[in-house]
């Protein structure tokens, strides 16, 4: 996918997550609907942290990126290849929780409007970070992902897009309050 296509995909993913969350009762935002699993608010908090990590990486100076992480030395993964790698890694790590710092403390509650605003801002930052890049550089520079290893900047955006949709699908399938 090209940078403009990726930008559109991020925007659409953000809108889908927001639409679903706004269609739910705010009364259940912090409630543990699925026993032993995160409440909806913790999914959104996790996405905010992850999205912010991606935009931070995208805003690093290219000299620093190259010095700290090197450059891409393999064939860049397609969107579907990256998605499959992520899903396979999740299966291998299960039931281990996300990397420390990317999840909320158990029992922590969030204000719906505040957290949803932070979510929107995190996705806007990703989009703004993305448009500063050119196609060649997106495939040249790499950053480490805590679970799936080094990713090119393009793969990082693939991951960010899919990661948001993955959590949305989980929410849609498992977090409907009866």
Residue 166: is its pLDDT beyond 60? yes
Q: For the chain, how far is it from start to end, CA to CA, in angstroms?
A: 39
What pLDDT, on a 0 to 100 scale, did the predictor assign at position 98? Answer: 64
pLDDT at 154: 98
In the chain, the percentage of residues whose pLDDT exceeds 90 is: 79
Domain ranges within the chain, ordered by starting residue: 3-174
More confidently predicted of 162 and 33: 162
119 touches 113 (CB < 8 A): no
Q: How far apart are CA 161 and CA 123, in angstroms?
A: 10
170 against 34, higher pLDDT: 170
Q: Per residue in 117-143, is it b (16+ CB within 10 Å) or e — as a string?
A: ebbbebbebbbebbeebeeeebbbbbb
pTM of the entire predicted model: 0.93
Check residue 155 and give its pLDDT.
98
Q: What distance in Å separates the CA atoms of residue 52 and residue 103, rounded to the nearest whole number?
A: 13
Please answer whether residues 104 and 118 qualify as being in contact, where contact means their C-beta atoms are separated by less than 8 angstroms.
Answer: no
As a whole number of angstroms, the distance between CA 87 and CA 39 comes to 21
Amino acid 100: pLDDT: 65
147 pLDDT above the threshold of 90: no
User: What's the fold here for domain 3-174?
Assistant: 1.20.120
Quick: pLDDT tens for 74-131: 999 999 999 999 999 988 877 666 666 677 787 889 999 999 999 999 999 999 999 9
Say yes or no to pLDDT of 54 above 60: yes
Backbone angles phi, psi at 142, to 5 degrees: -130, 155
């Amino acid at each position: 996918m090209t940078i403009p296509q990726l930008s559109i995909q991020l925007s659409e993913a953000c809108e889908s997550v927001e639409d679903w969350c706004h269609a739910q009762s705010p009364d259940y935002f912090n409630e543990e609907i699925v026993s032993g699993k995160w409440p909806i608010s913790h999914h959104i908090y996790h996405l905010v942290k992850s999205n912010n990590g991606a935009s931070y990486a995208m805003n690093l100076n290219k000299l620093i990126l190259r010095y700290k992480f090197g450059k891409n030395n393999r064939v860049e993964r397609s969107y579907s290849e990256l998605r499959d790698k992520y899903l396979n890694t999740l299966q291998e790590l299960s039931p281990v929780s996300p990397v420390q710092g990317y999840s909320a403390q158990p029992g922590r509650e969030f204000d719906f409007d505040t957290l949803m605003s932070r979510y929107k801002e995190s996705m806007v930052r990703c989009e703004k970070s993305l448009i500063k890049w050119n196609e060649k550089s997106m495939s040249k520079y790499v950053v480490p992902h805590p679970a799936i290893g080094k990713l090119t900047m393009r793969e990082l955006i693939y991951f960010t897009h899919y990661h948001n949709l993955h959590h949305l699908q989980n929410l849609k399938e498992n977090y409907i309050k009866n």
